[in-house]
Chains A and B, each alone.
Chain A
């Protein structure tokens, strides 16, 4: 397994600002999947800042690229990016999980603009993405499809059914990104259900694979700019990440996978860990 995450540069102001939006939603709902969202931020940031083609004013624009957060429990990170890009006002983050909110504990297509698929049950996104990639091919659209999975998520057999099909159809317009933070809910992925050799698995299913430090913005940018890695294959990006990245006391701690009944004190500690509420 590559140790590409060992020399990660420090988080810059944009990464911290996006994390502040995550904490804003955590404060709004007094709950949320903290670690699972924080490992995703740089992946989503680079996709939405530098890679994806989209128009917040026309979330159903047919020519857009599709980004499916298959690990739906990491949705607060996606909400932060969608709010930042203007799909909906950031004030919606304050209503996270409220009874009449558009932003729930898992993302729902049709509830909030910019959500491509309702996910939350694991192992669904890659199949849906494959269907979208095939639709783009049939409609001769140049749209690209990105599917972001968790590492615990790919314990699901349905992911590997989808991987077989994606490889069979040589969906070069599809990229799967594995948020490989090495921790699932119950413990380390190595201990609970070891995924290694992970790159070999994707390769053997017909993907062209690259591994990248999932918190190194420049490295992610370079990686995604080179898509597809092989014009005749789907691409897989194994993003080595740190669960809870950016909040020192939550990093790589399975206890921070999800928290509920978050107190004002904990929210204040979270803000403090990322440079303050109004930095």
Chain B
């Protein structure tokens, strides 16, 4: 049983969610006049993107060899796509979209991270052949 396959996703998706939440923290700070927070906001966007990419890779482990669902992979890749759009919008100062999209990204990242902690692998395809209750 590949129970361990949940852990890389739990760690990377939680890290991604925390880094993405910190984008709001840094935004609040430069909107309070703290100039270096703007650079933090910019740098942290890159780190958060890397964390989401790592989460997409970790999500693949849920499927192979974990035997779990495939949807987390496209979900994290979609999140990465939104982040790419978000970074572009930030540089272009399209704040009327950047801010609501940022909220959406943070909510999505938190939901995905929460799922990674709730997820219990169902019996794997191999084990499905075995009688119920035979699992240790």
Partners in one complex: no
